[in-house]
Structure 1
Amino acid sequence: MKSTHAAWETPDPAYWTSKGYIVLRVDERGAGQSPGLLDTMSRGTSEAFFDVIEWAAEQEWSSGKVGLLGISYYAGTQWRVAARKPKGLAAIIPWEGMSDYYRDRVRHGGILSDRFIDFWWNNGVSPNQYGKPGRSARSWGEDTLEGDLDEETLLKNRRDQTVDTAVHKFRDEEYYRTRDFDVEAIDVPLLSVANWGGILLHLRGNVLGWIRASSNYKFLHFIVGRHDLPFYYPESAELQLSFFNSFLKDDDTDGWKSGKQPRVRLTLRKGEAGVDDPERERGFPSRDEADWPLPGTNYTKFYLTSNNALSTKPSPSVSTIEYNALNGEPIRFAYKTSSTLEITGHIVAHLTVAATRKSADATPPSDIDLFITLRKINAKGAEVFYTGTMGDPVPIVKGWQRVSLRKVDESNKLHKEYLPYRNYYSSDVQPVEENQKYKVDVEVWPTNVVLEPEETLVLEIAGHDTQGVGKFSHEHPDDRDPKAFDGKSIITVGGEASWLTLPVIDARR
C-alpha cells in the first residue's frame, strides 16, 4: 500500500490523511534539508526528535496527541525518543526496529557487524547529508536549499558511523554511553512488531525492547516476510490504524484498552512457505499468547555428543571436536524429531571451548569468535529456508559470542538463565590462553520454528560467518585480525560439557 508521496520505510501519507491523520516527515539533523551535525542514532538526534514531537503536539491543527510509526531506522528512533517522555507522545509502533545499538546492530556478541553498517552508511546516509552536491541529479531529492557545502565542511559536519563503530569496542566508552537510554522509562502504549526473519539486526531489539518497556498497554506481534513490504500490506495498515485509533482518537472499537487484543500474537513457522513468497507465507498459522516468554515454556537441554548428535540425555563419553576458526567447515550436531517439536523463545548455547595453533611453528590464537546457527532439515533431507531481511534465504536463527567478552553479569536484574546479560565493558575483557578450556554461554536470538516428525534440527558452530548472513557479515580486518583468531577451535562434547537450551512449547489446546 504505497502512493506517489510515500517514502522508504515510512507511513504512506495518502492512506493516513484519508483516515483523518496528519503525517509529519522530518529530515533528521544534518540530513536532507536540515542543517547541523550528521550523527546518526545519537543523543543529539533524539533530543531534536523530542523537540519535534513537543512542537507538533502544540500546534493549533493538532489534537495534542502524537503517534510514531515507521520501519527500521524510523522504528529504532521511536524507542530512544519515547524513553525521554516528550509531551504529547501518546503511542508508538516500532515496526522491525532495534532497541539496543551495541548488541542489536554494531557488535553481535562483541563482534563487529561491519558490512551492513558500511552498506547502509555509504548508500543510504552519506549521499543524503545536508549540503551534499548533486543530490537532485542522483535522484536523492532536491538539492540543498541553502546551497552546496565543500568537502571540508561536509567532513566536519558528520560523524562517520563506519569509522566510529570500528574504533569504539566497548559499551563503557563515551561513544556508546551517549547512545544508551533507559528502555524501562518507556511508558506510552506500545505495539512492537518483530520479524522472525530479521535474524541479524532488528528481531532481538523488538523483543527485548518490549520486555523491558514499562508501558501498561504493550503488545508484541511476530510476522514473517521481507523487511520492507509487510509494513504496507492492507492488513498491516489496518492493524496500525486500529492501534492509533484507540490511543490517539480514543476509539477503542477493537479493544486495545479493554483486553480484547492479545498481548502477544505469533506467526508460527510450521511447514514450508518458500523464500520471499508473501502468498505462501500468509498460510503460516497464527496463535495468541498471554505473555513473552510464553507461559509454560519448558527450557530443555540438548547435549552435544561425540557422534555429532543432540541428545536430551548426556552421553557417558567425553571427547573433543576441532575446526579451523577462520576458514574451516562448521561442525554440526543433529536432532531428528519423533514427534512434533515447537521451539519458541530464547535460546542459549552453553559451550566448553578452547583454542590452539594450527601447527607447531604457528602463532597461538589469543581469542575465539563463536558463530552459532540453527537450521531445519525436512523429512526429505533438504534444508528449509525462510525469508530474510532482503528477501534472501535464511536459516532458523543465529547467535554470536567473542570469548574474551564471555563475562556474564549475573547480578544484573536483566540476567536470566535463558538470556545471559553482558555489559561488554572494557573491564570485562578476559584472557584466552592456548589450550585452556572456557565455559561460554552464547545468546542465540529469539525465534520460532515447528518441526514435524522425522524432521531434523541442526546446531552449527563455526569461527566465521556461514550461509544466511547476507549483507550483515562480520569481516572487518582489524576486528577479525588473523593474528588473534587464526587457529583451531576445540569444542568439548559428551557428558555435560556442552549443551543447547531450547524453549520447548507443549502442544496448545
Structure 2
Amino acid sequence: MPNQIKDLHTVDDSSYPYIFEQNAAVVLKSSEGLVRCNVYRPKDSGEQSRVPVLVTYGPYGKDIHYKDFHAKSYSEVNPEHHSDHSAWETPDPGFWTKHGYAVVRADERGLGQSPGLLDTMSRGTSEAFFEVIEWAAEQPWSSGKVGLLGISYYAGSQWRVAARQPKGLSAIIPWEGMSDYYRDRCRHGGILSNAFIKFWWNRQVITNQYGRPGRSARNWGPDTIEGDLSEDELEKNRQDQTKDNAVHRFRDEPYYASKEYDMGDIEVPLLTVANWGGILLHLRGNVEGYCHAGSDLKYLRFVTGRHDLPFYYKEEVEVQRSFLDAFLKGEDRVGWSVKGKLPPVDLVLRRGDVGFDDPENEKQYTRRTEQEWPIARTRYTKFFLTQNRELTTEEPPQDVRKKLSYKALGTLEDPQYLQFSTAPFEAETEITGHVVAHLNVSMSPEPSGPTPTDIDLFVTLRHISPQGKEVHYTGTAGDPVPLTKGWLRVSLRKTNPDHPRHRPWLPHRDYCSTDVLPVIPGEVYSADVEIWPTNVIVEKGGRIVFEVASGDTQGSGVFQHNDPADR
C-alpha cells in the first residue's frame, strides 16, 4: 500500500454500556499488513474477569451501522439486538456483552480499515481470519475460548477457518452459510450464478474496499484511516469475483482449487442452521456441512423466514446462547456437550399455506427432532414422467415413449418449461430430505439457428394446495419461492460413483475440466440432476408439480443465471 500505516487504536470505556475499542490491529504473519478489529467487551472484564470471545470476520464494514447498511431490515430486527454498534448479519455487541461475552468484529483484509489484497473467500483471507481468532484467544481480557457466530458470509467463512483448527476456537454456529464455494454459490450444476454475485459485489463489497474515496459522505462508514487510494491502486488491490467466476469454469482450475478444504478437518462442536427457503444460496451448504464435518458433537437445525431476521428471534438467540455457553463457559443447561443426550437434528415442518415473509404466521409451523440426517426411515420413492405430463409412481410401459419439448433459452421474463403433476394425494404425505431427477434429454437446432453445443437444465418442485393454489414460501430476501430447485449443465453430467460422498439420492460430481462430455444434437443423454433438500407436508388433496425448464423460472429472484456468455 502506498500510504503510510497509522495507529489510531482508541478505547472508550465511558460512552457505552460496554468497553469499546476501535481499530485494534492484528499484525499478520501469513501475509503483509494487518487486520483491524473493533472490540466490544463487558465493563467488568479484565485480568481478574476474563470472558469468552465471539469473532466475526467479513467484508461489510465493522464501522457501518446496521441501520445504514439496510434500514428496512434493521427496523424489523428484534429490538433487544439494537445498539450503537449493531451491524448487518453479526451478533449485536449490546446484547452479547450483557451476557458475558466479548465481541471482536474484524474488517476482512482489503476492506474497511484493513489494508491488503481484497480477495473474498480466498485461502489467503481465511489465513488472516485464522490469525484473528488466535489473537482474540490470547488477549488479556479473553478467557482463551473463541466462538464463531454470524449469518451468510459470516457463516460461510466459518467452515474454512474451522478446518484450519486455530488455537482457542471452541465452537461455531454457521447460520445460513454456504460451505462449498463452487456448488453452493458460484456455479449451480456448473451454470454460472452471476446475478447475485454481481449484486453482492457491487453493493456490499467493492463499496467498502480499503482506500475507497467518499465512504463517509455516503454514510457508508468512516473514510480509510490512511486516506484514499486512486482507482488504479484500488483495481490492483482486488480480485473481482464478478470477473473471476465468469472466467473460471471448473474446480480443478487454481481459482477454485485454492478455495477447497476438507470438511473432515472441522473438529470443534458445531451447530449448523439451515433455512428451508434458502434454495439458491445457503441451504445445501449447511446440510452438507453437517454431514461431512468431523466434529464429534454436531447439530443441524432448520428454520424458516428471511435470511436476516430469524438469527435475532428471541427463541433462536436462546438456542445460540445455550450452545455457546456450553462450550465457551462450561455452562451446559440442556446437554449440548453430552454426546447422545440431545437429538442432533431439529426440523421445522412446513404444513399448510401460511403465506410468505410473515414471521408471525410462520410460527404455526411445528418442530420435530430426529436422530440423523437424512432421516433413516425415509422411503425413497420413484416418480415417473408420462406423456400426459403426469407425475406417477406407476412405471409406464417401456415401449411407450414420447418426446416433449420446450424452447431454449428461457429467461425469467420469458420462461420456457414443461410441468408434470401428481394426482391429488390420497393421504397427508411428508416429503423431507434429498431429491434427484433422472432425465433423458436431447436438443435440436432451430432451422435458422447455429448448432447448439450444450443443454442447461433448470428444475423446480412446486407445492399445490388442495384448493389448487401454489403454496409459496419465504425466500432469502423475503420473496416468494417454491419448494426447491436444482440445476445441471449437461456437458457436466458425469458423476463419480466411487467418491465417498456419492449417494443414490445425491449424486457426486467433481466438476473438473476433464469431466466435460460432448452434447450433440439428436443424441439422447441420461442425466441425474441434484435438487436441493426440502421439506413439505402435503395435505390430502394437495399435489406436487415437477418443472423442467431451459432457464430461471419463478422463485429465482436475484439469484439468476443469465450471463450472456456463460449461457
Whether TM-score is above 0.5 comes out as: yes
2:202 aligned counterpart, secondary structure: helix
Match of 2:468 among 359, 381, 385: 381
2:442 aligned counterpart, secondary structure: strand
1:358 Cα deviation from its structure 2 partner? 2.1
Structure with more contact order per residue of length (Cα contacts < 8 Å, sep ≥ 6): 1
Describe the superposition over 1:103-144 as per-residue Cα deviations: whole angstroms up to 9, x where unpaired: 000000000000000000000000000000000111111100
1:221 and 2:221 equivalent?
Answer: no
1:351 matched to which residue of 2?
439
Q: Distance in 2 between matches of 1:43 and 1:270?
A: 42
Q: Distance in 2 between matches of 1:419 and 1:406?
A: 13
Match of 1:321 among 401, 404, 417: 404
2:186 matched to which residue of 1?
106
Match of 2:512 among 411, 414, 425: 425
Q: Distance in 2 between matches of 1:325 and 1:267?
A: 37
2:220 matched to which residue of 1?
140
Q: Distance in 2 between matches of 1:263 and 1:273?
A: 27
> What letter is aligned with 1:223?
V
Describe the superposition over 1:474-506 as per-residue Cα deviations: whole angstroms up to 9, x where unpaired: 0011101xxxxxxxxxxxxxxxxxxxxxxxxxx
Q: Distance in 2 between matches of 1:329 and 1:211?
A: 35
Match of 1:468 among 541, 546, 555: 555
1:329 Cα deviation from its structure 2 partner? 2.9
> What letter is aligned with 1:88?
G
1:273 matched to which residue of 2?
354
1:498 matched to which residue of 2?
none
1:3 matched to which residue of 2?
82
1:412 aligned counterpart, secondary structure: coil
> What letter is aligned with 2:218?
R
2:61 matched to which residue of 1?
none
1:289 and 2:370 equivalent?
Answer: yes
Match of 2:522 among 424, 435, 438: 435
> What letter is aligned with 2:175?
W
1:256 Cα deviation from its structure 2 partner? 0.7
Q: Distance in 1 between matches of 2:478 and 2:341?
A: 34
2:107 aligned counterpart, secondary structure: coil
> What letter is aligned with 1:363?
P
1:450 aligned counterpart, secondary structure: strand
Match of 1:399 among 463, 470, 486: 486
1:43 and 2:123 equivalent?
Answer: yes
Q: Distance in 2 between matches of 1:197 and 1:50?
A: 31
Match of 2:566 among 479, 488, 497: 479
TM-score with structure 1 length normalisation? 0.93
Q: Distance in 2 between matches of 1:330 and 1:355?
A: 14
1:93 Cα deviation from its structure 2 partner? 0.1
Unaligned runs of 5+ in 1: 481-509
Match of 2:334 among 239, 254, 260: 254
Contact 2:409 2:416 in 1 (8 A): no
> What letter is aligned with 1:352?
N
2:316 matched to which residue of 1?
236
Describe the superposition over 1:128-169 as per-residue Cα deviations: whole angstroms up to 9, x where unpaired: 000000001111111001101111100000000000000000
1:38 Cα deviation from its structure 2 partner? 0.2
1:86 Cα deviation from its structure 2 partner? 0.3
Matches within 5 A, 1:69-80: 69-80=149-160
Q: Distance in 2 between matches of 1:200 and 1:329?
A: 20
Q: Distance in 1 between matches of 2:341 and 2:306?
A: 29
1:260 Cα deviation from its structure 2 partner? 3.6
> What letter is aligned with 2:441?
V
1:453 and 2:540 equivalent?
Answer: yes
2:561 aligned counterpart, secondary structure: coil
1:376 Cα deviation from its structure 2 partner? 0.6
1:392 Cα deviation from its structure 2 partner? 0.3
Q: Distance in 2 between matches of 1:415 and 1:260?
A: 30
1:503 matched to which residue of 2?
none
Q: Distance in 1 between matches of 2:537 and 2:389?
A: 22
1:189 Cα deviation from its structure 2 partner? 0.2
> What letter is aligned with 2:527?
V
1:3 Cα deviation from its structure 2 partner? 1.5
1:339 and 2:419 equivalent?
Answer: no
Describe the superposition over 1:438-465 as per-residue Cα deviations: whole angstroms up to 9, x where unpaired: 0000000011011011101000000000
Contact 2:391 2:421 in 1 (8 A): yes
2:222 aligned counterpart, secondary structure: coil
1:41 Cα deviation from its structure 2 partner? 0.2
Q: Distance in 2 between matches of 1:310 and 1:110?
A: 27
TM-score with structure 2 length normalisation? 0.84
Describe the superposition over 1:352-405 as per-residue Cα deviations: whole angstroms up to 9, x where unpaired: 00000122x432211000000000111111100000000000000000000000
Q: Distance in 1 between matches of 2:334 and 2:142?
A: 24
Describe the superposition over 1:171-208 as per-residue Cα deviations: whole angstroms up to 9, x where unpaired: 00000011111111101000000000000000000000
Contact 2:194 2:562 in 1 (8 A): yes
